Copies of this chain bind each other. A is one copy, B any other.
């Protein structure tokens, strides 16, 4: 591999000039520029990222930490992040924390050691002192869907509470008279807010009971298990709001296995808007988030921060949109 000094020698200039040319800062004569370009080409010179990182403290890398690579939600998010990052010349390191706080911590350590320029958190084990620590280290980061303490970092999220209320209202509108909820991890804002939205929408009904909720851990198998327990306790449930789509898919699966007709006997609504919901039959009604847009915006914000934007921490809340599909289309 050729080094910058080889190029300098061949072009008959000093390394500083090459560096200036590469980074487009400082003055370089037009003719010199041509000679440098020629030298770079003949030597097939590629600047060494390690040396660059070491000397300049910029690596052109951002990391996305997310909790579950098998959840299509994060797959889509990752694509958005990658697309934008690529556009700005950054590389993305995808880090799957597998919902384990220690993995997440390891990643943070490793990423700091590697001088990533910024971090996007779509994972949630982070406590507010972790956030403070990151702030102290001055490493730019953005939280997706989680805000341990609102003002201390920039957050990109959706209107989860509102969405959950829309979902429940939709089920009510379709004539459901006893609606259960499969909730996600309560140490996540997403899981918590959607739960709250459900609770607020149904608590004043006479049929409401705290035994109408079951955890589903944001996973397919969790959704299946939850349905089983719910239907055992309340065979007369006629509507289920699942805290995310993967759980909704699991719920549907289990309902079908139990011989419960969807939507006739039980109407089902999910949350997120991933493609999985239109792959199954019947297609599942869901509260769609603008996943790709969230990914794009957060990446843009992060890159801005990296490149010196010092504006205040902001919170961006995306609208959500209920998409009615077959799983809630009931004959009245």
A238 at the binding interface (Cβ < 8 Å): no
Q: Within A1-56, which residues are at the interface with B (CB < 8 Å)?
A: 46-51, 53-54
* Interface mask (A97-123 → B, CB under 8 Å = 1, otherwise 0): 010000100110110111100000000
Q: Is A91 an interface residue (CB 8 A)?
A: yes
- Is A96 part of the binding interface, using a Cβ–Cβ cutoff of 8 Å? yes
**Which of B48, B93, B96, B276 is close to A79, meaning CB atoms less than 8 Å apart?**
B96
How big is chain A's contact interface, by range?
35 or more
A279 to B257: give the CA distance in the assembly, Å. 11
Among candidates B78, B114, B250, residue contacting A69 with C-beta atoms closer than 8 Å: B78
Most chain B beta carbons < 10 A, residue from A51, A69, A72, A276: A69
Question: Is A225 in contact with chain B by the CB < 8 A criterion?
Answer: no
A275 close to chain B: CB less than 8 A:
yes
Contact A115 B72 (CB under 8 A): no
The residues of B that contact A167 with a CB separation of less than 8 Å are none
For A152, list chain B residues within 8 Å (CB). Answer: none
Copies in the complex: 2
B113 A47 Cβ-Cβ under 8 A: yes
Cβ 8 A contact of A75, one of B69, B82, B112, B115: B69
Is A323 interfacial (CB-CB < 8 Å)? no
Instruction: Say yes or no: A113 contacts B46, CB within 8 Å.
Output: yes
Instruction: Compute how far the CA of A265 lies from the CA of B271 in the bound complex, rounded to whole angstroms.
Output: 34
Contacts of A109-165 to chain B: CB distance below 8 A: 109-110, 112-115
Indicate whether A59 reaches chain B with its CB closer than 8 angstroms.
Answer: yes
Q: Is A200 an interface residue (CB 8 A)?
A: no
A76 to chain B: closest residue by CB: B70
- Is A301 in contact with chain B by the CB < 8 A criterion? no
Is there contact, CB below 8 Å, between A115 and B50? yes
Determine if A94 is an interface residue (Cβ-Cβ < 8 Å).
Answer: yes
Are A48 and B93 in contact, with the CB atoms below 8 A? Answer: no
A319 within 8 A of B: no
**Can you list 25 contacts pairing A with B, beta carbon distance less than 8 Å?**
A46-B112, A47-B113, A48-B54, A49-B115, A50-B53, A50-B54, A50-B114, A69-B75, A69-B78, A70-B72, A70-B75, A75-B75, A78-B96, A79-B96, A79-B98, A86-B106, A94-B94, A94-B96, A249-B279, A250-B279, A253-B279, A256-B281, A276-B279, A279-B280, A281-B281
